[in-house]
Amino acid sequence: VATTKKNGNASLVFSFLYKVVEVFCEYFKELEEESIRDNFVIVYELLDELMDFGFPQTTDSKILQEYITQEGNKLDTGRSRVPTTVTNAVSWRSEGLRYKKNEVFIDVIEAVNLL
């Protein structure tokens, strides 16, 4: 989401937003809510260098890495586990239970009004 005080160039705004996402992905490996929360200091530094007084300035990630030498915390996505609430793992149901016939019953009720 981007807002402007004046009637700005829409293509400039969108290209800047895409460039910001690209720079963040290079610093944090993946752009997720958790990576932004963990690296909010670097996000502020990057935004300060990317934009001055509302105008895009330095958007090249190689040049930004010369100014901002602090490394970001990269997310370790290889060890993520699915929560048990998603997998329907419950204590009262035995594992590996299969049914030969899956059925779904749907009631369709139609009403027609005429004048």
pLDDT in tens, 12-41: 888 989 999 998 888 888 888 888 888 888
pTM for the whole structure: 0.56
Alpha helices, DSSP H only, in the chain? 10-28, 33-38, 40-50, 61-67, 84-87
Q: How far apart are CA 23 and CA 65, in angstroms?
A: 10
Residue 69: which CATH number?
3.30.450.60
Instruction: Quick: pLDDT tens for 42-73.
Output: 888 888 888 888 788 888 888 888 877 776 66
Residue 87: band (very low, low, confident or very high) from pLDDT cuts 50, 70, 90: low
pLDDT at 79 over 70: no
Count the domains in the chain: 1
Write out the residue range of the structural domain in which residue 61 sits.
Answer: 10-75
Which residues does 77 contact at the CB level (< 8 Å), separation at least 6?
29, 30
Q: Determine, yes or no, domain membership for 2.
A: no
